[in-house]
Amino acid sequence: MLIAALAIWALSDTRQDILGQARIEAHTAAEVGAAYRHWNSALGGVYVPVTETSPPESAPRRAWPSGISTTPAGKRLTLVNHAYMQRQAHELMRLQHTIQRHLVSLKPAQRAKQSRCLGKQSVAGPCERTA
């Protein structure tokens, strides 16, 4: 009986340690993402080469009118804002099978991209059920 109680206590303690470590890692990942987002936003966006994976943003998505530029050497650049940069980073992480993340907003720019209930819960709390 004592051995069973000790085994249950050890498993519970191990589970709590694992959950605590997972919380720390999740918090750290969120802080790193927020730091990059704020860095990009503080700069007013960053210019990157136009590629297949970084095409010029369409006018409705672009937050700044001067979104396309060309270097003196003729290389085309596109302005990437903080949200678009994060979406690209999240897609890269998804393709590398390392971690899956997405941006969540209670006021999405496009109605078709409204948050699912799960995303809304993480931002504003439990969702209300509608009949």
Nearest to 85 by CA among 123, 28, 34, 122: 34
Counted residue by residue, the chain has a size of 131
The pTM for the full model equals 0.57
pLDDT value of position 49: 93
CA distance 31 to 38: 10
pLDDT value of position 70: 86
Run means of pLDDT, 10 residues per run, the chain, 131 residues: 83 86 89 90 90 74 66 90 87 79 65 49 48 39
Are 79 and 68 within 8 A, CB to CB? yes
> What is the spatial order of strands in the sheet that 76-80 belongs to?
46-49, 76-80, 68-70
Are 29 and 90 within 8 A, CB to CB? no
**How many CB atoms are closer than 10 A to CB 126?**
8
Nearest to 61 by CA among 49, 48, 78: 78
